[in-house]
Amino acid sequence: MKFNNKNVTIHNDVKIGSNVEIGDNTTIYPNVIIGDNTIIANDCVIGEPINDYYRKRLEYVNPPTKIGSDSLIRSHTIIYCNSEFGNHLTTGHRVTIREKTIIGNHSSVGSYCDIQGDCVIGNYSRLHSYVNVGQKAKIGSFVFIYPYVTITNDLTPPSRPLKGVFIGDYTQIGTNSTLLSTSKINQSCLVAAGSIVFGEYENDSFISGNPAKRVGKLSKMPFFNDKGNRNYPWQKHFSEGLPWAEIGFEDWSKLQNDD
Amino acid sequence: MKFNNKNVTIHNDVKIGSNVEIGDNTTIYPNVIIGDNTIIANDCVIGEPINDYYRKRLEYVNPPTKIGSDSLIRSHTIIYCNSEFGNHLTTGHRVTIREKTIIGNHSSVGSYCDIQGDCVIGNYSRLHSYVNVGQKAKIGSFVFIYPYVTITNDLTPPSRPLKGVFIGDYTQIGTNSTLLSTSKINQSCLVAAGSIVFGEYENDSFISGNPAKRVGKLSKMPFFNDKGNRNYPWQKHFSEGLPWAEIGFEDWSKLQNDD
Amino acid sequence: MKFNNKNVTIHNDVKIGSNVEIGDNTTIYPNVIIGDNTIIANDCVIGEPINDYYRKRLEYVNPPTKIGSDSLIRSHTIIYCNSEFGNHLTTGHRVTIREKTIIGNHSSVGSYCDIQGDCVIGNYSRLHSYVNVGQKAKIGSFVFIYPYVTITNDLTPPSRPLKGVFIGDYTQIGTNSTLLSTSKINQSCLVAAGSIVFGEYENDSFISGNPAKRVGKLSKMPFFNDKGNRNYPWQKHFSEGLPWAEIGFEDWSKLQNDD
């Protein structure tokens, strides 16, 4: 229903893989590569030109943008040029992703997210709706970030240079938290909803409050899931859409270490 | 000005009442029913197909969507299929409402709201801009929710099953508050701006802080309105667009009890 | 690439300056004036009609809207009628600006901002993404407001009349802060991220917490920038896009006082 080839604009120098669908009213700017089996829904913009385009039109050349295979870009998403995405990317509606963003495989970006560019997100990470990722952020793999989290880059605004936040693999950032510039949240942590986070936190930390403190080892906290088990490390209990869905996290983990 | 019948796409099996207007660039997907006197402004999507559509195109049948009468859907709103809305619904711009959402009569959903589906909202409730309603939420009638409130459904993310939040009639949720999964905020409460709410709260509570506590009976708090009266219960002082506008809350209330 | 004159709708009584570009799919409603050298990108709406339009179509006359010169309105921005903007305005994507908004020269409004109208913003002020400006706000010049800040107008919701917030020149409002109705934050203050602000604060205050308190004189706080200098007053160290970029803040400031 969305794919009637109505008002689709595909510029020059666009390479589109096999079995790709492009929705109505979508525009693909020059120098975009789209992998096989990817669906770009209606009203999207892929390869949105950067600011130079507006004021230096004649000399402007759009930098390259790469969307991987097997991806689903939902409607009204704007992806700037000069970014690179792995395979199996999913977006919600009305996402904005600025230039110089690098995202790995199997990650997702929820509706209304604003990724400000010049940042890196790993594999199998999930940004829920309205996540605001500031420049210079480095986000690992299997990181889930919940709505209204803002990842900042300036401790003494306004100042330069911008300095990003680091988030380690498997870490969960609760809704409505603010991660202040230069913070380093290592692996397998949980940041409680509404925390204002600043500083460095070791692996397996439960972090909470304003200013946020390390309450203790996350794996020792009395956080039980519906089956009555300690929920953390969460990978033991949760596998929807994750690579250990078939064999469980422990076996999968061993296979990774063997590689 | 918005209704030039330009680029309007209305699919098969759409039932449109009398005196309905559909704005330019709007798409109505199959199996949508729209009540009399409703206005769908420009660039809207009504009956947006769910995920199965993208990958199982041939066998896909769009579930039914019902928009009531006398509604105003402002521009750039996306309403998924498989939802049902009462009469006199109003939306702001760029709203997203996912599948399995049920909303009563005379309610409104502000600009940029993200209603994630599988939830219920009563009558005369008002969501201001950027409210994020997680799945499984049950929101009563005459509930006003202010910007950036997030209503969550997972206490130990990520885990399953999702468990929603309950909000009783006449309750007000202040801006930028987070309501944690399983919280039950009963009738006629006020949650202060920026609270992180967890637990059950009796009727007529003033709730504030992180973690939020019941400060006391809301109707006894020294919250005065511009006329010098205690503002709560607010229904005694505020009637804009509400069914007691003509006769006052007390008389209206008696009539309800008589029915 | 964006300016192919495709699906552009320009109504009657629109005055467009010289060297203006209008992007594809953009609609300009009646009674809009656009200054010289301004770029309105694709999929924008300028002069969006107010509510009366929907229900009183025949007698409706669109109030005037003025966009200044040398402005850049990025794609998918909706600007209501009955507003007035100075020169060199910049917007992000998907901004919404309601009626009766007045913005000075050289200011910017980031992606997803929701300006609810009936408010004033000065010169050289910058709203980052997702800032929510309630009605009756008065925001000075050189004010920078970071993501998810919400500026409210009702202390005892719901009640009337709405009462706005005042923000003085040079003040910085950290991300995810809530400014409660009637607050007055004077000049050259810094509100820390995540603060819930209520009350009046003198010039040069550092304000933090929930409820927010004045911690002390901002210019005496140990906030150092990358060069090891106290960062506040920030005007001494930061001049990107600001009128003192060439001669420094002190000399520029003297010239202002001489005028």
- The CATH number covering residue A159 comes to 2.160.10.10
Which whole number is the average pLDDT over A115-130? 98
The answer to whether position A149 is within a domain reads: yes
> Is residue A142 domain-shared with residue A241, that is, in the same domain?
no
Query: B158 and A130: CB-CB below 8 Å?
Result: no
Which whole number is the average pLDDT over B27-36? 98
- Which positions ≥6 away from B184 have C-beta within 8 Å? B165, B166, B199, B200, B201
Touching partners of A (3+ C-beta pairs < 8 Å): B, C
> Is residue A160 domain-shared with residue A178, that is, in the same domain?
yes
- Which positions ≥6 away from B96 have C-beta within 8 Å? A92, A93, A94, A111, A112, B77, B78, B113, B114, B115
Which stretches of chain C sit within 8 Å of chain B by CB?
7, 9, 11, 25, 27, 29-30, 45, 48-49, 53-54, 62, 76, 78, 94, 96, 112, 114, 116, 130, 132, 148, 150, 152, 155-161, 176, 178, 180, 194, 196, 210
Beta-bridged to residue A205, according to DSSP, are A217
Query: C172 and A157: CB-CB below 8 Å?
Result: yes
The answer to whether position B238 is within a domain reads: yes
Q: Tens of pLDDT along A72-104?
A: 999 999 999 999 999 999 999 999 999 999 999
> Is residue B123 domain-shared with residue B167, that is, in the same domain?
yes
CA gyration radius, chain B: 20
Q: Tens of pLDDT along C188-219?
A: 999 999 999 999 999 999 999 999 999 999 99
Write out chain B residues lying below 8 Å of C157, CB-based.
Answer: 144, 146, 172, 174, 190, 234
Query: A156 and C2: CB-CB below 8 Å?
Result: no
> Is residue A214 domain-shared with residue A226, that is, in the same domain?
no
The answer to whether position A214 is within a domain reads: yes
pLDDT category of residue A106 using cuts at 50, 70 and 90? very high
Residue C71 Cα to chain centre, angstroms: 14
The answer to whether position C152 is within a domain reads: no
> Is residue B130 domain-shared with residue B235, that is, in the same domain?
no
Containing structural domain, residue A249: 222-259
The answer to whether residues A24 and A6 touch, using CB atoms and an 8 Å cutoff, is yes
Residue among B29, B152, B210 whose CB faces A210 most closely: B210
The answer to whether position C202 is within a domain reads: no
Distance between B176 CA and the closest CA of chain C, angstroms: 7
Question: Residue A237: what pLDDT?
Answer: 93
> Is residue B172 domain-shared with residue B259, that is, in the same domain?
no
pLDDT category of residue A259 using cuts at 50, 70 and 90? low
Distance CA C142, CA B112 (A): 27
Strands (E), A42-151: 45-48, 65-67, 72-73, 78-80, 84-85, 90-91, 96-97, 101-103, 108-109, 114-115, 119-121, 126-127, 132-133, 138-139, 144-145, 150-151
Question: Residue B159: what pLDDT?
Answer: 96
Query: C1 and A30: CB-CB below 8 Å?
Result: yes
Tokens representing B29?
A: 């997907």
| In the predicted structure, residue B57 carries a pLDDT above the cut 90 | no
Write out chain C residues lying below 8 Å of B209, CB-based.
Answer: 210
Question: Residue B55: what pLDDT?
Answer: 84
Which whole number is the average pLDDT over B41-67? 95
The percentage of residues in chain A with a pLDDT greater than 70, rounded to a whole number, is: 100
- Written as tens digits, the pLDDT of chain C (259 aa) is 789 999 999 998 999 999 999 999 999 999 999 999 999 999 999 999 999 999 888 899 999 999 999 999 999 999 999 999 999 999 999 999 999 999 999 999 999 999 999 999 999 999 999 999 999 999 999 999 999 999 999 999 999 999 999 999 999 999 999 999 999 999 999 999 999 999 999 999 999 999 999 999 999 999 998 889 999 999 999 999 999 999 999 999 999 987 6
Write out chain A residues lying below 8 Å of B194, CB-based.
Answer: 194
Looking at the structure of chain B, the number of domains it has is 2
As a whole number of Å, the end-to-end CA separation of chain A is 44
> Is residue B218 domain-shared with residue B237, that is, in the same domain?
no
Question: Residue B259: what pLDDT?
Answer: 65
Question: Residue C196: what pLDDT?
Answer: 98
> Is residue B217 domain-shared with residue B239, that is, in the same domain?
no
Residue C101 Cα to chain centre, angstroms: 9
Question: Residue C257: what pLDDT?
Answer: 81
The answer to whether position C233 is within a domain reads: no
The answer to whether position C18 is within a domain reads: yes
Question: Residue B83: what pLDDT?
Answer: 98
Distance between C196 CA and the closest CA of chain B, angstroms: 7
> Is residue B70 domain-shared with residue B155, that is, in the same domain?
yes
Distance CA C145, CA C114 (A): 13
> Is residue B208 domain-shared with residue B243, that is, in the same domain?
no
Q: Tens of pLDDT along A202-238?
A: 999 999 999 999 999 999 999 998 889 999 999 999 9
> Is residue B47 domain-shared with residue B160, that is, in the same domain?
yes
Query: A158 and C172: CB-CB below 8 Å?
Result: yes
> Is residue B92 domain-shared with residue B128, that is, in the same domain?
yes
The answer to whether position A1 is within a domain reads: no
Query: Rounded mean pLDDT of chain B?
Result: 97
